[in-house]
Amino acid sequence: MKKQDTWGIVKRLFFIGMKFRSWFILTLIISVILSIVSTYRPYLTMQVVDNDITKLKDNALMMKHIYILVGLVFAETILNFFLVYFSNYISQNVIRDIRERLYAKLIYFRTSFFDKTPIGQLVTRAVGDVETIATVYTDGFLMVFGDILRIVFVLIMMFSTNVHLSYITLAILPLMVMITRFFQKRLKKAFGDERTWTANQNSFVQERLAGMSIIQVFNRQDAEFKKFDDINITLKTALLRTVFIFSLFFPVVELISSLFIGFILFYGGYITISAGVVIAFIQYISMLIRPLRQIADRFNNIQRGIVGAERVLGVMDEDYAMPNTGIVKKDHFDGKIEFENVRFAYDDKQEVLKGIDFKVNPGETVAIVGATGAGKSTIISLITRLYDINSGRIVIDDVEVKDYELYNLRSHIGVVLQDVFLFHGSIFENLAFGDESVTLEKIKAGAKEIEVDQFIEQLPGGYDFVVSERGSSISLGQRQLLSFLRAYLSDPKILILDEATSSIDHESEKLIQRATEKITKNRTSIIIAHRLSTIEKADKIIVMEHGKIVEEGKHLELLDKNGYYSTLYKAQLRHEVELEEEQQS
């Protein structure tokens, strides 16, 4: 992801916030009024001390000034409330907007992006990093503007009160700027390390939780805990480095402020300045130091937000969307599929498919078989354009797949993957995932047609049964049957089935075989077969080895050739017999 300069990020965030410009303007007006009110208060205090209390000229006027002072304090409180509320209102709306933009971008990214980017890092970007951007608005544009405005008004009031002391006070400004710059540089690096290791930890935890059964089966608990502990210690060190810099910064600012106020008291007594002027100047110095310190504090928080924004905008700037330049749209597919000298590599280095040529006629059922890594499952991704080929052509109904409007192409293709993914939600919601307009009656009718209605109705709540994350609350066979029904309900003209490699119970396998026969009827079907006994009735079998097609024909024809398919089939048959004998013994 591309590095971006700080001001470039700030400008982009500012223009994103301009979507809520009316709220910005209202908050800026409140900030101006608050600055005027707060800086006038010390001046009025000076008048009360020097004219009303010291000279005791007019009690009525003194009481009037005191009432005004009390009113100003209440006004400051109310204005501060609205300033904080409105700035947070703006920031939360902007954050919602950024989250929507980020998610809208991610869901259209190519599969290759997710292949190389850890999901934990993306979760950190979409949740944690986006949240830190809020500080750019709550502590940034509006509050910093208010602080700068207050400094300007304070300086104006100071010079109108005592020019000599004002010039002396100005000497503190360069020192405060130097200190702020010094700490700001160190904080930027500290925040960057903090966010990097937070993302690493999220990615590590998410991956290990997903693979917990593997960790336990291989007795890797202690080793994995050690890895987590190393990351956790590094993150703690990064966080403590940030805390250390913060902890050092504020006492330094407080020390300079206290020393300067002490100097003003001493100097005021030395040159004989009125008590009211001294009191006003002490207040003005506090009001000057406070926004300077707040600006420094805000810049620290803004720095964290900018680091988060750099990461989020970096993802949003990635150009990983699958090109959707095709213009061909069809209401109906015949289902003819042709691969012409197709070559493909996931990483532009190791070719997975090496000059593949085959043809599937409308309504045919074609099985593709081969050892693991032969390139069978890759064919699914290429037909549905999850990836684009490196060379050659993939043609459906005499039109290259890249020339179809992408969503039109996918709407005519049903896919059942070997790794069945079910979302957390009801059975009904998962079955309606491909078509939200589908009714419960249609789902029930479809379930009955392919004989999966019985097991669904036996679940607690039936179609309202809530499936846990990734469908872990039901068996593998049941998940496969649900994925068959989901594909069947979309009524695609082209159906691609990627058989699960995992073993399932005998009853589920019989149901799956019957369901396969029914959902492949009257549509072009490609079956990525892992159990060769299930594809004996296929119209054609394509045999792959090391990314190439080595044999092609019907089941009995291929057995008669006594070639690679025959070897695979006999080896799998022996394995199944051995398993059956083991179970019987």
Nearest Cα to Cα of residue 431 among 478, 387, 390, 476:
478
User: What span, in angstroms and rounded, lies between the C-alpha atoms of 136 and 94?
Assistant: 10
Spans of the chain below 70 pLDDT: 1-4, 50-58, 210-214, 216-219, 265, 267-272, 296-297, 470-472, 500-506, 533, 576-585
pLDDT, tens digit (0-9, with 9 covering 90-100), for 152-161: 888 888 888 8
The residues that bridge with 345 in the sheet, in sequence order, are: 351
Global confidence as pTM: 0.69
* Contact yes or no for 17/137 (Cβ under 8 A): yes
3-state secondary structure string, 222-287? Answer: HHHHHHHHHHHHHHHHHHHHHHHHHHHHHHHHHHHHHHHHHHHHHHHHHCCCCHHHHHHHHHHHHH
| Residue ranges per structural domain of the chain | 6-317, 337-420+493-584
Position 214 scores a pLDDT of: 63
Fold classified for 6-317: ABC transporter transmembrane region fold (1.20.1560)
Task: Measure the CA angle with vertex 500, ends 497 and 504; round to 5°.
Answer: 130
Q: What is the pLDDT of residue 115?
A: 77
Q: Which residue is associated with the tokens 């593709």?
A: 368
584 CB-near residues (< 8 Å, 6+ apart): none
pLDDT given for residue 582 in this prediction: 65
| Cβ–Cβ under 8 Å, residues 312 and 391 | no
Would you state the pLDDT for residue 353? 92
337-420+493-584 fold: Rossmann fold (3.40.50)
Give the integer Cα–Cα distance in Å for 359 and 387: 20
Residue in the structure block whose two tokens are 């993939």: 394
Kindly give the residue spans of alpha helices, DSSP state H, lying in 318-372: none
User: Which pLDDT value is given to residue 362?
Assistant: 94
Give the model's pLDDT for residue 216. Answer: 64
Cα gap 417→361, rounded to integer Å: 22
The structure tokens listed for 316 are 């949003």
Strand, helix or coil for residue 394: strand
pLDDT given at position 420: 77
